[in-house]
Chains A and B, each alone.
Chain A
Amino acid sequence: MTNEYLCNVQNLFFTYGGKKNNPTLEDVSLQLKKGEILGLVGESGSGKSTLAKVMTGLFKEDSGTVECGKTAMIFQDSYSALNPAKTVEWLLHEVQRLQGVKDKATRQKEILKMLDAVELEEQYLNHYPSELSGGQRQRVMIAMALLSKPEVLIADEPVSALDVTVQKQIVSLLKRLSHKRNLAVLFISHDLRTVYELCNRVIVMKNGKIVEEGAKNALYFNPKEEYTKALLTSAGIDWE
């Protein structure tokens, strides 16, 4: 099992504050392979962000198993996810310091390589997050995530707050990075169009449960569940 999947979640249950009667996540199972981009769609309250936090270990599951390779996470609100009091350079050093990379020159070399990978110019190193645009901040966050050398990247609505043209750039960047580094990506979003553009396989969640799961085209053009159909229709997607 573990050889085949980078990430294997089985029968996961989770409840906020331990109230057993109304679980936030109910019997969730999913697998992620190397180099795969899995889309997770659902509306607010569906539990998709909670799932991400359990998978990264920010929350502890009530029951079930979560076996994941090394994970890193990028967040929706790049304004809140980058420490406003620190420069980009400090943030990129800090990730590596916490990884135990003691030598400053080594860290600096890695940083320059990473900036190149996320297509951000070197001049932004001494900027504070508030001095960057939304797209640039998102690139910094991706660079930070990748510097911790993850096998699985969990992206919680990473483009929802961005302008459409910037969204497109970030989505294609994620696609390229996943290819080049054989990185598994769990892409969480409420935007079905973006998910279609980026992902190979898609999971639909509602009220803490997985409603439907399938390969992208099968799910988008041959949906089985009423809820999936309703979502597609609302997004103006002609699935019939």
Chain B
Amino acid sequence: MLSVENLKIEFFDHSLPETAVDDVTFTMGEGEILGIVGESGSGKSLTALSIAGLLNRGDITKSGDIVFNGLNLLHCKRSELRKLQGKDIAMIFQEPMTCLNPVKRIGWQVEEALRVHGEKDKFKLKEEAIKALTDAGLEDAERIYASFPHQLSGGQRQRVMIAAAMISKPKLLIADEPTTALDVTVQAQVIELLRRINREKKTSILFISHDLSLVRQLCQRVLVMKDGKIVEQGEAEDIFANPQEEYTKELIAAIPVVKKPN
């Protein structure tokens, strides 16, 4: 469904060009949950942003291919890309504080993706939004529909983001560190929600995180990135049980082990 080939992203804002993502190649199947793990500066977020078509800046050059359902996202027309954005490809971000517009009601923001893609019927919009909010595990969807972002907790806001992303039933959901800013109990709930979405709606999820234990809980397949390159990839369980690369071993060793003393 998605194949990324030889993706290379370079920055030109300093005197020397800087390669942030170097020769990244991977594929993703329908209904798959793929994890990208890496530390800051590994290029995992840039990879995600370029797949979502959100990386268009004058001081960045991209080369390679990103093919989504037969369409090359890196080289297609802007209008073709926009037809996909928010419809077939949706994205959620780390900071539920800043990625909701503080002056717009939740309902309006959840509906926006549908509205942009041509839905005009107000009743239909609201119906869909309420349904999306309920599906995202928000009870009391009517009240939340009429609320402003600052009236909600962090966990609720992240669920709203998920509802807004899922309303147009995307084929691919990109989740960039969606749980990092949340409390552990809420983290676990959001992971569960993502798992359910994947199971029930068959949405593929590209899950980006620095937290290996979360990736292990959620993903079937994992890419480990470092300094813009993929250092290792494979089935999640294999990688955790039997890491091949030094860096992967280091990452796994960095997770503190909590084990019952005998």
Contacts and interface: CB of A to CB of B under 8 A. Distances in A.
Interface in A146-174: 163-168, 171
B183 A190 contact: yes
A44 B213 contact: no
A192 interface: yes
Contacts of A166: 39
A124 B212 CA distance: 31
For chain A, give the interface size range: 20 to 34
Given A163-B40, A163-B210, A168 B254 contact: yes
Interface of B is mostly: helix
Nearest to B37: A164
A190 B258 contact: no
A13 interface: no
B76 interface: no
Given A163-B39, A164-B210, A231-B185, A196 B258 contact: yes
B188 interface: yes
Interface residues of B, number: 24
B190 to A, nearest CB: 11
B234 to A, nearest CB: 19
Contact of B254 (A165, A217, A231, A239): A165
Contact of A217 (B187, B251, B261): B261
B150 to A, nearest CB: 15
Contacts of A167: 254
Contacts of B255: 164, 193
B228 to A, nearest CB: 15
Nearest to A193: B256
Nearest to A230: B185
Contacts of A163: 39-40, 210
Interface string B246-262: 00001101111110110
B183 A164 contact: no
A234 B184 contact: yes
A233 interface: yes
A235 to B, nearest CB: 5
B31 interface: no
B254 A164 contact: yes
Nearest to B217: A236
Nearest to B256: A197
B154 interface: yes
Contacts of A234: 184-185, 187-188
B144 to A, nearest CB: 20
Nearest to A194: B256
B184 A165 contact: no
A164 B226 CA distance: 13
Contacts of A191: 184
Contacts of A44: 154, 183
A104 B66 CA distance: 59
B39 A165 contact: yes
Interface of B: 39-40, 154, 183-188, 210-213, 217, 250-251, 253-258, 260-261
